[in-house]
Chain A
Amino acid sequence: MDAMTIEDLLARIALGDRRAFSEVYDRTSAKLFSVALRILSDQAEAEDALQEAYVKVWRNAASFEIGRASPMTWLITIARNTAIDRARKRKETPIDATDLEEQVDIDPSPEDMAVLADDHARLRQCLDELDDEQRAVVKTAFFTGRTYAEIADWRKKPLGTVKSWVRRSLMKLRACLERTSSEPV
């Protein structure tokens, strides 16, 4: 199984291969757990979210379309959506100051990251084109999955101002990402 890519393994999972599922879990759960933990800021809730996410992976592997998306993007999206949906169901909580620190992985595992390394470089380059404050808000929003209202509260800015920042940032990012992207959108 060593040579199998995550993509191969997802195809095996779609066929009901439990060993393939176990291997995908071993190879990706630490990444997905860090994502859920950042969004939920609570160990037990993040564990529940991770469980829910991998149950979805098992059940929906057949819907992963080979060649349409990177398998890591697919997995990350499931984990993020699961965690964010859970966060929306509970009471709003203040953003922890540690959420602001960038916890960048300096040694990403090469096999899964290689494909995304170029994309990451591009995204960083485009984020760098934003103002410092706007970049901080967009990144914190993404890492923590917080609502506009929570971010406004954290930044002590009017809701409308924060919305405007994020929306303008998204427009700039999109223009930049399309400009620097080699693939069609």
Chain B
Amino acid sequence: MSDAEDVFDDAVLAGEYVIGVLDAEARHAVGRRLKDDAEFAALVQFWERKFSPLALSLNPVAPPAALKQRIMKTLFAEPARRERSFAGALAFWRLATAGMTALAMTAIAALVYQSTRPLEIVETQLYATILPADAEPVLSARIDNQLRMIEIDRAAIELADNQAAELWLIPADGTPRSLGLINSEGRDRVGVPARLRSLFNAGAVLAVSLEPLGGSPTGAPTGPIIGLGELNSN
């Protein structure tokens, strides 16, 4: 037995997880660790990437046609979830802005513009603007170096009488944190809670959603996202 107890590193554990030899308990432990250990998650991704061609080498087996109907029914008979549109808008924004050439940006601008207008975010000293062609920002914002205050220089948000505009920070973990309600027109200042400052990293996104008066009742965006802009500290 002794040679099985040799010390093996995390890369081997990640490989064991990916090929699927761990028992339920060990597998569960690895699954939990994956959630907050990025280095370990990268090792798991290494094995997933390396081994997936082997899975694809299996002869395809068509599932019965009824299965597709069952899946479509399961998914689309249920009421639409509000968060979906938000996650979708964010994913599409990331797709649209990732390493994109000006030409491609123009090509997709119309699509982005259908559901969201960009925010223009300016950090003092360093700044970045994300602005598809022809689209007018819903707001322009600056954030001071200490991340204490977001200065909104110019907002142009159309609201119905029963709506409010809420500003959100979406950090790398993808969970939106409310920064509070903002004026729909003109200038505004939004204080940044101390507990959220560490989340203002490159890649974090500011978003504006339309909410009921008084703000989101759930703590997450419930209305349509009308603007998204990526923070970039360069």
Contacts and interface: CB of A to CB of B under 8 A. Distances in A.
Contacts of A25: 68, 71
Contact of B92 (A14, A59, A105, A167): A14
A112 to B, nearest CB: 8
Given A51-B74, A62-B88, A170-B16, A148 B23 contact: yes
Contact of B53 (A21, A34, A120, A166): A120
Contacts of B29: none
A58 B75 CA distance: 8
Interface in A4-43: 11, 14-16, 18, 21-22, 25-26, 29-31, 33-35, 37-39
A107 B94 CA distance: 35
B109 to A, nearest CB: 15
Interface residues of B, number: 60
Q: Which of B3, B4, B87, B89 has the most C-beta atoms of chain A within 10 angstroms of its own C-beta?
A: B4
Contacts of B64: 47
A104 interface: yes
A108 B56 contact: yes
Contact size range, A: 35 or more
A138 B215 CA distance: 54
Interface string A124-161: 00000000000000110111111111010000001111
B91 interface: yes
Interface in B1-38: 1-6, 8, 11-12, 15-16, 19-24, 27
A67 interface: yes
B66 to A, nearest CB: 9
B15 A173 contact: yes
A85 B94 CA distance: 31
Interface centre among A63, A77, A158 (most CB of B within 10 A): A77
A138 B50 CA distance: 13
A26 B62 CA distance: 9
A123 B20 contact: no
B23 A88 contact: yes
A165 B3 CA distance: 10
A55 B56 CA distance: 20
B52 A73 contact: yes
B53 A142 contact: no
B68 A105 contact: no
B79 interface: no
Interface in B36-70: 42, 45-46, 48-64, 67-68, 70
Contact of B21 (A77, A89, A166, A185): A166
20 contacts: A14-B87, A15-B89, A15-B92, A16-B85, A31-B58, A34-B61, A37-B61, A47-B67, A51-B71, A61-B91, A62-B90, A80-B20, A105-B60, A116-B52, A116-B53, A123-B54, A160-B1, A160-B5, A164-B6, A174-B12
Given A18-B76, A166-B19, 12 more contacts: A29-B63, A31-B56, A38-B58, A39-B20, A47-B63, A77-B52, A88-B23, A142-B54, A143-B58, A148-B22, A160-B1, A167-B12
Sorted from nearest, which 5 A-B pairs have the closest CB atoms?
A120-B53, A160-B4, A30-B60, A145-B20, A62-B91
